Amino acid sequence: MRITTFAFYQMELKEKQRRILNVAVELFKEKGYMGSSVRDLATKLNIKAASLYAHIRSKEEILEWICFGIAQEFFDELQEVKNTNIPPKEKLNLFLDKHLSVVLENRDVTHIYSNEWRHLEERLPEFVELRRSYQQEVEELISEIYQAENWELKSPSFTTRFILHTLNNSYFWFKRNSDSTNAIIDEIREKILFGLLGNQKQ
């Protein structure tokens, strides 16, 4: 599977690094980050393991590309939502749509991002802070929306974690080739909105 909307295609990765990234995503999804070796990656690329180090610093660098790249895409979409001048309820809808779109268009990348980030070493503190910052910004957005609509929000932090966990793991629930991304987004959005707003949704 080729990554089409992944943020790193807007970054300055060289052509061979992009190829390495694509194959590494397949490998990490199949065997897990810890279960994958540089030799495994080289075998899939049909090159010698030593040759990989002409293009990457380490296996961990590839995990950094994945985690920080998809995180930046989430931030970019969130910023677009925050800058949009639309009614609060529509803004909540838009946030759900945009975050879900990133997840579903990059399913394998999101899987690695969600499950393997703890294996970052050198940049782990930086990434933990990045995740915390994103959750905080989403929490602020949701709190602003609830306040604008005079809805009761008992636990902004729990609500935010619930939303992000649901969105980030949505790729588990649908077959890759049989379900329309738009249909999936509509269904998940409806269920999340009903759970959050109940009778206030109408």
- Copy the structure tokens of residue 39: 């030799």
With a CB cutoff of 8 Å and minimum separation 6, the contacts of 110 are 70, 102, 103, 168, 171
* Local confidence pLDDT in tens for the 202 residues of the chain: 334 445 544 456 788 898 999 999 999 999 999 999 999 999 999 999 899 999 999 999 999 999 999 999 999 999 999 999 999 889 988 999 999 889 988 889 999 999 999 999 999 999 999 999 999 999 999 999 888 888 888 889 998 998 998 888 887 776 655 556 677 778 777 877 776 766 555 4
Nearest C-alpha neighbor of 102 from the set 202, 199, 5, 201: 5
